[in-house]
Amino acid sequence: MGLSSRYRINITRRGPPPRPFGWEICRRDDATEVEVERSPETFRARYEAIADAERAAVVWDAKEDVPS
């Protein structure tokens, strides 16, 4: 996601101590922000959550690029 995107990734603490990190993807429209997807699982390390979220965010960006 090197280019500007309408989607933002938030890494959150959601799970119990062995796997505390999760992610959510939010879409920005003007002044509002709406959660569009949340990780179905939790991760041991923040970097694992970031890597998984990046893969999901690329899919959302690709949906934006498809002509109607």
Nearest to 14 by CA among 6, 24, 2, 4: 24
Q: How far is residue 12 CA from its own chain's centroid?
A: 10
DSSP state of 18: T
Within 13 Å of residue 45, how many CA atoms lie on the same side as its CB?
A: 3
Better-scored residue on pLDDT, 64 or 68: 64
Tens of pLDDT, residues 46-55:
999 999 999 9
For the entire predicted model, the pTM comes to 0.80
Supply the pLDDT for residue 1: 45
Tens of pLDDT, residues 14-47:
888 999 999 999 998 888 999 999 999 999 999 9
Q: Classify residue 49 as exposed, middle or buried by CB count within 10 Å of its CB (0-12, 13-18, 19+).
A: buried
- CA dist., res. 7 & res. 2, Å (int): 12
